[in-house]
Amino acid sequence: MLHLILFLVFGAVCVAGAVNLLAQRHPINGALSLVAVMGSLAVEYLLLGAEFVAAVQVIVYAGAIMVLFVFVIMLLNAGVEERTKGSRVALLFGVPGMLLGSVLIGWVLLGHGAETVPVGALPGAPKVIAWLLFHDFLLPFEVTSILVLIAIMGAVVLASHPDTEQGKKES
Amino acid sequence: MVPISYYLILSGILFACGVTGFLIKRNIISIFMSIELMLNGVNLSFVAFAAQWHALSGQVFVFFVMVVAAAEAAVGLAIIISVYRTRETLNVDQVDLLKL
């Protein structure tokens, strides 16, 4: 029962964030709603027992990738179509959502929910995942490391300022 | 336990939202974020099936998807920066020439 309630609440947050991504005209609002989608998806992963995937989702997706997005949006100053309805919508949905979340957390903490699960007891424990990654999937793992290296070099080459190279050649 | 069909419905909704955003958005960064949303929807179905069949390979594939998404984000955002530097716009309708 608690699983179903958590699934419904965070699934609703997911869908609301995804629809908000479509509705917002400003990219920074879309990026923040995408962060909300990824955070609630991490909770869905936890409900499915994939605790390590949930942690990586928060660290890599909501942390690294979305920070990169927000950084680029601010770097390019990409606020072309500005509307200030977003703040009103945030007020309308944010306050009840926060109240709902705090009530839910309080309900769980007061012991009405299911029994707690220790870290590592779920099927997607880090130890099992590491065994799979470094034994059965060792070759794909190494190939992805080369892929990431190529991506880093490509990003540096693509984003480097062209004027500096021209200035070096001319001078 | 929550039935797996609920997770698949949620995953389908997220993927559909990603496709819709990919089609209706005109800002190149918003289009890129829609692609990330599609990847997240697929990841959710991967994890749901991994839990259903007790096969952890599904979770391992989610890692590979995440690595590819991170590499894609780095290269894609670098391309966006270089496009903005040469064309001064982020609207995909105005980026329709390969060579300036």
Instruction: Provide the CATH number for the domain formed by A1-90+118-124 in this structure.
Output: 1.20.120.1200
Helices (H), B27-56: 28-53
The answer to whether the CB of A34 falls within 8 A of the CB of B37 is yes
- Supply the ipTM of this predicted assembly: 0.89
> What's the predicted TM-score (pTM) here?
0.80
- Using an 8 Å CB-CB cutoff, list chain A residues near B55: none
Cβ of A47 and B2 within 8 Å? yes
| In chain A, where the domains are located | 1-90+118-124, 137-171
Residue A140 touches chain B, beta carbons under 8 Å: yes
pLDDT in tens, chain A (171 residues): 788 888 999 999 999 999 998 888 888 889 999 999 999 999 999 988 888 899 999 999 888 899 989 988 888 876 655 444 555 676 777 778 878 888 887 787 776 655 656 655 677 778 888 888 888 889 999 999 999 999 999 999 988 876 655 545 554
Q: Which residues contact residue A93 at a Cβ distance below 8 angstroms, ignoring those fewer than 6 apart?
A: A16
Q: Structural domains in chain B?
A: 4-94 (1.10.287.3510)
CA distance A158 to B73: 13
